[in-house]
Chain A
Amino acid sequence: MTSNVSSSTNTVIVNKPKISWYSVKNRLFVFFKYLSLIFISFWMLLPLVINFVTAAKTQKEYQNTNVMDMPANWFNIENYIEAFKASNMAVAFRNSFIILITVLFVTTIIGTQLAYVLSRFTFPGNGLIRGLFTMAALLPGIAMQVALYKLMVDLNAVNTLWGYILMMCGTDVISIYVFIQYFENIPISLDESAIVDGASYFTVYSKILLPLLKPAIVTCMILKGVGVYNEYYASNLYLQDDDLKTVAIALYSFTGPMGSKYNLICAGVIITLLPMLILFLIFQKQIYNGIAAGSVKE
């Protein structure tokens, strides 16, 4: 042990006096590397931090101090309470929660089923269905709303929760690709042996493959969940009733009468991003993997 330590310190001592141009350049390189990382982090964090600071200020403080001054009381939650009440966040959170649970449940079921069929069977429409989903990814959602709105009117689905949920249930191509990829990594002999043992295709899907798919499901649920929770445009179009509004609409309502009370708005912003922050802190790795997995095609 001791000899080991001394030998390692020896090498350090040997290396130390060597200050070549190379090591200077290297150190400069490292310095600029961290400088740029910290500089960009500063700009990434600044808007959020100031938002948090402003949310803690009282109305008087907000009007009389510079935005960058710190609040007198960091744990002033009055703004949060007022913002929560003023925009009727309770109803909004309930609606968003209902939408989130239903959409995640349905999309996971139909997404995995579709991926199972597409990856396990060759049938005439296989390529066509894959193509349809890939093409759909190119059509930006908001552009479609012009025509979709008329369809929703015709279906009597405007201002109903079910209409909105049904519309959001369109399985997105990213999760389908992730599921297909996972299915293809599960050996097909597993299905075959189960089928020889007398299992039906449905049993193979639900009892054998679905449990193996758990990591992919969690990944896709997070991605889709973030999308659904943050969705604004469609919910604004189809859920105009006060009782039906989602978190994003509730937040947007701050533009009206409270347009200049930024301490309230900031509190509202913090309230809506708190669930995301918690989710992020718990599932950080999974979210990163999900983003990366979602991009890998074929």
Chain B
Amino acid sequence: MTAATEGVVNLPETIPVNKQPRNWRKAGIIVAFCAIPVTVLVVFTYLPFGSMVGYSFFKMKYIGPREWVGLQNYIDVFSRPDTLSSLKLSLYYMVGAIIQVILALYLSTILAFKVRGGNIFKAIYFFPYLINGIAVGFIFKFFYTRGFVLDTVLQWCGFQLDQLPYWLRDQSINNWSLVGASIWRFLGQAVILFIGSIMSIDQTLYEAAEIDGANKFQQFLHIILPGIKTILVLNIILSITGSLSAFEGPYVITSGANGTATLFVLMDRLAHVNQKVGLASAMAIVLLIIILVFAILQQILFKFIFRDADDGVAKAKKQAKRIERQHHRLAQKNAPIFRNGSRIGKER
């Protein structure tokens, strides 16, 4: 009895009214938990990024004197034949990225619904994503070698060996071969991403559409595509950034010979073999800017494409929000302003 009453009496003291000590503990845990990850992030990402921006204005090696050259490195990136051609190569990989997204959309639209052996197909498409880039390189070097896997399959289909091009040597086709290997490797990742988001679309929408007489393609266009647009945008960004940073494929399969040196293969060579650190840094910066531009462009483009994708529901929502905001503003305008409990007048 006494203990209970005592407890009641002491209650105001046990509940910390003064928040100061707890705030101190809070600050402590925030600092303790953020310190290491933020330090690692800054030291290994932002510090090198900063110094890379700096290097790009110098002619320099890793060790030894450096010479200020201003924007010369950037001019070189766009005027040297090797860097320019590697920039152009990115276009191949971007086309590859788009093919990959379309293929993945098709496959995931099928696999998100009931399909016999769906899990097996999913596993087959996805597994290459887990394979080491170097291993993928070897696999495809073997795959494309004259008279080996691809040629044999095509011979089964009735082609003659001497009609077939050298997949890795012929400059008109070798980059497409490499793009093919890249699609092979990353298709599954895109498929899995799409399947996940397609499955999260409300099932009743399909039933409603079917009752309304929409065919499968219309359903795809008007239900699935708007339903997964966030993931779609993300996936296109991922594919394009991934395709711009293609490295292991050309590095292992052709070691960048015969005009297959992508930006990173060339950058690796310039930085670590020729030790042209300044030029390589400028290349990296140019690449980053391209990636950023793409990220922004896609955002704008998709806002444009999907501006009236869902029968004006979004429009109506926006309208409602705008009206609500107006009401809110009006109410605020007319509301009296209080300070320290006493009315001090109206705004304006």
Q: Is the interface of A mostly helix, strand, loop or mixed?
A: helix
**Contact mask for chain B residues 104-142; partner A; CB cutoff 8 A; 1 contact, 0 none:** 001100110001100001111111101111110011101
Within 8 Å of chain B (Cβ to Cβ): is A110?
yes
Number of interface residues of A (CB under 8 A): 87
Which residues 145-170 in A have Cβ within 8 Å of B in the complex?
145-151, 153, 166-167, 169-170
When the two chains form the complex, which single residue of B132, B153, B216, B245 contacts A272, counting CB atoms closer than 8 Å?
Answer: B132
A132 (CB) vs chain B CBs: closest residue? B41
Determine whether the beta carbon of B132 is less than 8 Å from that of A171.
Answer: no
Interface residue ranges, A against B (CB under 8 Å): 29, 33-34, 36-37, 40-41, 43-48, 50-51, 54, 66-68, 110-111, 113-114, 116-117, 121, 123, 125, 129, 132-133, 136, 138-140, 142-151, 153, 166-167, 169-171, 200-202, 205, 226, 229-230, 232-233, 237, 247-248, 251-252, 254-255, 262, 265-266, 268-269, 272-273, 276-277, 279-280, 284, 287-289, 291-292, 295-297
Number of interface residues of B (CB under 8 A): 91
| Chain A residues with CB under 8 A of B192 | 288, 291-292
Within 8 Å of chain A (Cβ to Cβ): is B82?
no
When the two chains form the complex, which single residue of A121, A269, A288 contacts B126, counting CB atoms closer than 8 Å?
Answer: A288
Q: Nearest Cβ in chain B — how far from A210, in angstroms? A: 12
Determine whether the beta carbon of A37 is less than 8 Å from that of B115.
Answer: yes
Determine whether the beta carbon of B234 is less than 8 Å from that of A147.
Answer: no
Determine whether the beta carbon of A232 is less than 8 Å from that of B26.
Answer: no
Of the candidates A47, A149, A296, the one having the most CB atoms from chain B within 10 angstroms of its own CB is: A47
| Chain B residues with CB under 8 A of A167 | 44
When the two chains form the complex, which single residue of B42, B126, B134 contacts A251, counting CB atoms closer than 8 Å?
Answer: B134
Inter-chain CA distance A272–B133, complex, in Å, is: 11
Within 8 Å of chain A (Cβ to Cβ): is B52?
yes
Of the candidates A113, A147, A289, the one having the most CB atoms from chain B within 10 angstroms of its own CB is: A147
Which residues 22-47 in B have Cβ within 8 Å of A in the complex?
25-27, 29-30, 32-34, 36-38, 40-47
Within 8 Å of chain A (Cβ to Cβ): is B48?
yes
Determine whether the beta carbon of B51 is less than 8 Å from that of A147.
Answer: yes
Q: Is the interface of B mostly helix, strand, loop or mixed?
A: helix
Report if A170-B132 is in contact (Cβ < 8 Å); known contacts: A147-B281, A252-B252, A292-B197: no
When the two chains form the complex, which single residue of B45, B121, B145 contacts A136, counting CB atoms closer than 8 Å?
Answer: B45
| Chain A residues with CB under 8 A of B252 | 252, 255
Inter-chain CA distance A41–B192, complex, in Å, is: 15
Within 8 Å of chain A (Cβ to Cβ): is B206?
no
B47 (CB) vs chain A CBs: closest residue? A151
Determine whether the beta carbon of B193 is less than 8 Å from that of A248.
Answer: no
Q: Nearest Cβ in chain B — how far from A129, in angstroms? A: 6
Inter-chain CA distance A93–B187, complex, in Å, is: 28
B15 (CB) vs chain A CBs: closest residue? A196
Within 8 Å of chain A (Cβ to Cβ): is B325?
no
B53 (CB) vs chain A CBs: closest residue? A147
| Chain A residues with CB under 8 A of B231 | 295-296
When the two chains form the complex, which single residue of B30, B47, B268 contacts A123, counting CB atoms closer than 8 Å?
Answer: B30
| Chain A residues with CB under 8 A of B197 | 292
Of the candidates A146, A200, A279, the one having the most CB atoms from chain B within 10 angstroms of its own CB is: A146
Q: Nearest Cβ in chain B — how far from A270, in angstroms? A: 9
